[in-house]
Structures are given as C-alpha cells and as structure tokens.
C-alpha cells in the first residue's frame, strides 16, 4: 500500500457533524471509539435511523459507487473514527488471499447491482405515485 492509501483516523466532539446528506462521498468510516447518530432531516423533522458504535461502519457506498451520502451523521459521543478510502480498500484487498479477494470483489459487484436495481425500482415507484 502506498502512503496515499494509508489508514488514518479523525476525531469528532459530541454533537459535531461528520457527514451531511447530499455531500460528495469519497470515504467511509469505522467507529473506533464513541458513537455516531445516523439521521435524516426532513423539513426540520429529525428521523433517527441508527446509532452506531465501535466496530460499525458507515458511508460504505462511497467505497463502491462514489456519488453522495444518503444521510446525516453526527457524533453522538466524543468519537474516534478510522477512515476508509477506496485506495486503502483496494490495497487491503490486494494483500489478502486471492480467493478472499475474489469473494470480496464479487460481493462488491453484487452490492452495486442491487443498489442500482433498488434505485431504479424506487424511481419507478415515485413516478407511478407522481402520476396518480
């Protein structure tokens, strides 16, 4: 792995924003210490989707698709997060057994395909509702 793809950490104070829905997605995170709150803000109405703690990962679609983040994330407690970049993931996959690497790449491809189908399905459902 090269220096550009090396693992690093970011620290956030309780209440500090980490990600904002719609922000360009370039990295994922794994909670090392503390906890984060995943939520949506719909015209001032807050809908909490999850609270994640040590060992849990968020923002993972950035590793496979880029695009934008689909939810807001704030530190629910003082938190230390491991940053996972696409370059770091690629290097980590190269360092594992070839069969494990093939399995990971296959799962990533299936996740992309499933996500694309879900987006198309949701879009069609939205269009159907919009025309009713």
Pick the more confident residue, 96 or 13.
Answer: 13
Q: Mind listing the pLDDT tens digit for each residue in 20-40?
A: 999 998 999 999 999 999 999
Q: Within 13 Å and on the Cβ side, how many CA atoms surround 93?
A: 17
Find out whether 7 and 13 touch, Cβ atoms under 8 Å: no
pLDDT at residue 4 in the model: 45
Sole residue written with tokens 């950490």 = 9
Query: Whole-prediction pTM value?
Result: 0.73
Q: Mind listing the pLDDT tens digit for each residue in 54-105?
A: 999 998 877 777 788 888 999 999 999 999 998 888 888 888 889 998 998 8
Q: Is 25 helix (H, G, I), strand (E, B) or coil?
A: coil
Pick the more confident residue, 121 or 25.
Answer: 25
Rounded to whole angstroms, what are the CA distances from 43 to 31, 46, 121? 28, 8, 25
């Amino acid at each position: 792995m090269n220096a550009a793809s090396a693992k690093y950490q970011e620290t956030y104070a309780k209440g500090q924003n980490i990600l904002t829905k719609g922000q360009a997605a370039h990295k994922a995170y794994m909670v090392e210490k503390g906890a984060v709150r995943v939520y949506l803000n719909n015209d001032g109405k807050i809908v909490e989707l999850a609270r994640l703690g040590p060992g849990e990962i968020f923002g993972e679609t950035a590793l496979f698709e880029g695009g934008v983040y689909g939810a807001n994330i704030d530190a629910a407690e003082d938190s230390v997060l491991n940053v996972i970049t696409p370059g770091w993931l690629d290097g980590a996959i190269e360092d594992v057994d070839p069969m494990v690497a093939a399995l990971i790449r296959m799962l990533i491809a299936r996740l992309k395909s499933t996500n694309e189908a879900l987006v198309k399905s949701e879009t069609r459902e939205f269009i159907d509702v919009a025309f009713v």
